[in-house]
Structure 1
Amino acid sequence: MGIIDYFIKKKQPSSASVAKERLQIVVAHERNHRNQPDYLPLMQQEIIEVIRKYIEIDQDQVSVQLDDNDDCSVLELNVTLPDR
């Protein structure tokens, strides 16, 4: 089988298709942030600063998400705390 595998070339994804996938991810990420209020990034920074007064965390350990329902908005805050 080794010799046959040598002659059968597996298709590598083209650089255009890889670039297209990456662009789709970037566009989806930007659309998600476009719907968020302007104050959300600043609020996230301030929340991180308050948490850091009590425990050392990295910025990537905190996620803030705003979900809009029909009649209310829900602010979701997830913090991954380090083990003691």
Structure 2
Amino acid sequence: MSLLDYFKTKKKPSTAATAKERLQIIVAHQRGERDAPDYFPQMKQEIIEVIRKYVKVGADQVSVQLDQNDDNLSVLELNVTLPEQS
């Protein structure tokens, strides 16, 4: 790698490519919610409330997803971004 290669302009992704990627994420998220049971939104809210009893986290710091396979197997995935302790 030469020194001149460092100064060459780097190509940014196009606006259309960025929009397409974001749309794919939204569609994948909505597909996951569509197959969820009727009680899932309430259960998700209750899980967040229980976590908030013990740790100060915002709703955007907690992610709850339900993955269902064809083998009648359901996996509840919970991701919590915990605050740093000082």
TM-score, scaled to structure 1: 0.63
| Residue number in structure 2 paired with 1:74 | 75
Is 1:48 the counterpart of 2:36 in the alignment?
A: no
Q: 1:34 to 1:61 in 2, by over 3 A?
A: same
Shift of 1:68: 1.4
Equivalent residue pairs, number? 74
RMSD: 2.8
Distance 1:72 1:25 in 2: 23
Q: 1:25 to 1:55 in 2, by over 3 A?
A: closer
Unpaired segments ≥5 residues, structure 2: 1-13
Q: Letter of the aligned partner of 1:51 in structure 2?
A: I
Relative contact order higher in (CA < 8 Å, ≥ 6 apart):
2
Distance 2:25 2:42 in 1: 24
Larger radius of gyration: 1
TM-score, scaled to structure 2: 0.62
Q: How does 1:28-67 map to 2 (within 5 A)?
A: 28-67=28-67
Moved over 6 A (4+): none
